[in-house]
Amino acid sequence: MKTTALVIEDDRHIANLITMHLTDAGLEVDTAGDGESGLQKAVHGRFDLIVLDLMLPGVDGLSICRSVRKQDRYVPILVVTARSAEMDKITGLELGADDYITKPFSPRELVARVHAILRRTQELGSTATDAGTSIRIGDLTIDVPRHRAFRGSDEVDLTSKEFDLLTLLARHPGQAFNREQLLDRVWGYHHDGYSHTVNSHINRLRAKIEISPSQPQYIRTVWGYGYRFAEPGEFSTSREDG
């Protein structure tokens, strides 16, 4: 079956441009030209990817992103933003968008971003099938197919990148990753100015999953190198190396 994408964009020229290049890349594309129809298709349809403009008539893109993330089935979202809308980009990522691209954009970059998102999503799904649908360590449970995480019985509210970062680390307990490796594995390509935000993502993850973020039990610092996820045997000790 072909990979399917939904393009929600009110500018007909841009929508046609995106549709043409995604079709040339082998995707089957549906479109919506306003927020209301885009929301209905996004929530009730079954797509492998959503390309979502934030500035839409009717229902705005952030509301659509929020509604899609309430669904059980995880669909990756590539947000399209105006270059000046910095807060919208940040809010979109916080609401669970997988990546963003700014207008004007090159079709080549758009297709590269789409392929990177789909590759990471497919790798996540195939690894989950091989290793089981959930990762459990300590009182932390990561439900990979549904993109949900729990500490005990309480759900942890994670952004898309926080979830992917946590899943990558948890799948390789004890293995140390430096910041460049984490950027490559989680973001899929180099983000200008994003290297330093690996630390902020780690800090936010610790604040959400650790009992004491200043003495992390799960995500350990490897001094002078990067980070690693604790091995199961380490939960029997109180020593932390955060």
Q: In this model, does residue 193 exceed pLDDT 60?
A: no
The pLDDT value recorded for residue 128 is 44
Other CB atoms within a 10 A radius of the CB of residue 43 amount to 13
* Nearest to 168, CA basis, from 114, 224, 229, 116: 229
Q: Grade residue 189 by pLDDT with cuts at 50, 70 and 90.
A: low
Using only the alpha carbons of the chain, give its radius of gyration: 19
- Is residue 13 scored above 80 in pLDDT? yes
Of 94 and 134, the structure prediction assigns the larger pLDDT to 134
Residue 232 has pLDDT above 90, yes or no: no
Amino acid 132: pLDDT: 54
Query: What 8-state DSSP symbol labels residue 218?
Result: S
Question: What is the average pLDDT score of the chain?
Answer: 84
User: Over 70: is that where the pLDDT of 235 sits?
Assistant: no
pLDDT score at 35:
95
Q: Quick one: pLDDT at residue 25?
A: 94
> With bands split at pLDDT 50, 70 and 90, how would you rate the model's confidence at 181?
confident
Q: Can you tell me the distance from the alpha carbon of 175 to that of 194, in angstroms, rounded to the nearest whole number?
A: 22
Q: What is the pLDDT of residues 209-229, one digit of tens each?
A: 999 988 999 999 999 899 999
For residue 77, give the 3-state DSSP assignment.
strand
The residue-averaged pLDDT of 44-71 equals: 91
Strand partners, 129: none
Q: Which is nearest to 208 in space by CA: 160, 131, 151?
A: 151
User: pTM here?
Assistant: 0.67
- Note the pLDDT of residue 50: 97
- Cα separation, 179 vs 226, whole angstroms: 6
Contact 61, 79 (CB under 8 A): yes
| Strand pairing category for 140-143 and 134-137 | antiparallel
Distances (CA, A) of 194 to 63, 180, 242: 26, 10, 22
Residue 77 CA to chain centroid, in angstroms?
8
Does residue 242 carry a pLDDT above 60? no
The pLDDT score that the predictor gives to residue 199 is 86
Tens digits of residue pLDDT in 77-115: 999 887 666 677 677 777 778 888 888 899 999 998 898
Distances (CA, A) of 2 to 23, 47, 110, 146: 10, 10, 19, 22
